[in-house]
Amino acid sequence: MDLSHVSHFPLFSNLSENEVKILINYLEKENYKKNEILYSPGLVRDKLRLIISGRVEVSAPSSDFEEPTTIYGPNQFLGEVSLLQEGTLHKAKAVALLSTKAITLSRQNFLKLMKDHQEISCKIQMSIGSFVFNRISSAVTHSSVHYAGYSSGKKRLEHDLLGNRELPDDAYYGVQTLRALENFNITGVKLKSFPIFIKGLAQVKKAAALANAELGVLNKDIANYIVMACDEIIAGHWHDQFLVDMIQGGAGTSTNMNANEVIANRALELWGKAKGDYNSIHPNNHVNLGQSTNDAYPTAIRLATLQSIPSLLEALVELCGLLSNKGNEFSDVIKMGRTQLQDAVPMTLGQEFEAFSVTLGEDIARIRDGAKLFLELSIGGTAIGTGINSHPKYAAKAIEKLREITELDLVASPNLIEATPDTGAFVLFSGILKRLAIKLSKICNDLRLLSSGPRCGFGDINLPPMQPGSSIMPGKVNPVIPEVVNQIAFQVIGNDLTVTMASEGGQLQLNAFEPVMVFNIFQSVTMLTRGMRTLGRLCVEGITANKEACRRSVEHSIGLVTALNPLIGYENSTMIAKEALATGDSVFNLVLKHKLLTRQQLEDALKPENMLSARL
């Protein structure tokens, strides 16, 4: 067995060369085919596996210290507990994603090592214990799908035009990302907070690698490893390495380099090379080949926006459906309509809720129309739209690859110089989001008014009680769900103003303020999506009608005489209204008192199908 293969593993870094030579005698080689299962839940942990090449995916139910899905790659290991405890069972399933080569140390051989060379076995146990502790300590910072790297404490040196910097050796980002972390501690909201954006970045880089390889300007092996790394990111892995603040100077360069560096280092690892070996795969020369931040970044924004819209529309359609269901449920509940907070004329509660559904439903088409603007891409324009430093056929080829990757009907902008600084699509789409937010807020205002009380307000409806409403007033329950959606709307409206000002602030051949635009648009989309689901599922679905209160308000409202006017005449209606105001008696009782209608006639008139008829 190759000594370098074993000594390269951080797990054995505390062993001398002579001790590694001894250890080799207790190790075995194993090869796994693609999709081969290494182990399954319930099997005994019987060996430590150290991966030389390939990838292994381990999936397990989430617990305090285990993540649902973890990718293991070259120089990483799994199954270490088998050497620390006897008879433990696997809780997860491990599958080789690619053909994988590994070095294994079985528990049986480890016990022999303990007997023959106790000092070496103790060093290995101490090393494993340290790695496991560091892994558990850092687990809370990882995303639901993350890298299996342990914090080794080792450093690597990287350099850029400003000089050399040390980075943690297990970090996949590089020196330019490190500088951005130091420079832009602005919002505290990192790229990893928007997985759909990271996915868009990886799709751009994958398309670029495929296009450049096909055009012969990028080595096919290098392209293959870049594509593999991008596929992992698209699938949700490594997002915890995207740490740059969403708002940054440099027109998105820090975001672009964060992606370039993570992809390059993961590609190197997949190739069996060390992170930071940029002579083999370079973030700029290879991952960013044929691109500039000025076309790659806005292209990723557009892809991310397009791919976030289905979730937004699903939430909107679901909410419209729930409101429409309430419209049907409340179709026989007669109530007073109100204008300017004053009694107007009767309507049904069902009509009110159906109107909510219709007004929101109008924005489904608006969102779809607005999304079409993002199908036009500036990729291939590089720095200012001239296409400098890219292959003449790169733009068309990259669009072709992006269409295949995303299955979206993407097209190239007819004028890349115009498209590079143009942010008009952001302004229009943000305005559509604002329109939706305003409608949602108006509906939530109405729900809060209609449910006000319970004794001294309108009291037309009951909102489902979600939590106690006061720390001092017993029994108080507040309309917390509509309130939070109101606040979402306020934020979206503010976000739209920010997008507007940032778009206006662009100068010459580039708009440097796209980071704040994308931050606000993605925030608006995310908040609206979550807010609509919250409103629908935690509020609208559980709303009930106060039928008697609604009926009572109709009977006592002066506005009822408007509906009765065709039956009793204008003069009688005026007389009844005047007397009701003077005495406080209900219009219903006064109509009976003056024998203008029989009780049966009045009851018939108050039926929803008659009350709301144009013939009434």
Q: Give, in order, the Cα–Cα distances in Å from 616 to each of 235, 375, 560, 562, 566.
A: 62, 52, 12, 10, 6
Cα–Cα distance list, 275 to 8, 74, 145, 155, 232 (Å) = 13, 11, 20, 11, 17
Cα–Cα distance for residue pair 532/314, rounded to 1 Å = 10
Q: In what order do the strands lie in the sheet with 93-96?
A: 37-39, 93-96, 56-59, 69-72, 145-147
Q: What are 159's strand-pairing partners?
A: 164
Q: Which residue has the tokens 């309108």?
A: 458
Residue type, 250: G
Task: Measure the CA–CA gap between 523 and 334, rounded to whole angstroms.
Answer: 40
> Which residue in this structure is represented by tokens 């937004």?
312
462's enclosing H/E stretch is strand 461-462
H helix or E strand, kind and range, residue 513: none
Tokens, residue 445: 């205002």
Q: Which residues pair with 163 in a beta bridge?
A: 160
**Closest by alpha carbon to 44, among 95, 92, 87, 91?**
87
CA–CA dist 224, 195 (Å, integer)? 23
- Strand 69-72 to strand 56-59: parallel, antiparallel, or no bridges (unpaired)? antiparallel
How far, rounded to the nearest angstrom, does the alpha carbon of residue 391 sit from its chain's CA centroid?
Answer: 34
- DSSP strand E in 25-131: where? 28-32, 37-39, 47-53, 56-59, 69-72, 77-78, 93-96, 100-106
* List 40, 144, 470, 613, catalytic entry: 470
Decide if 121 is catalytic: no
User: For 416, how many CA atoms within 13 A lie in the half-sphere containing its CB?
Assistant: 20
As annotated, the active-site residues are 470
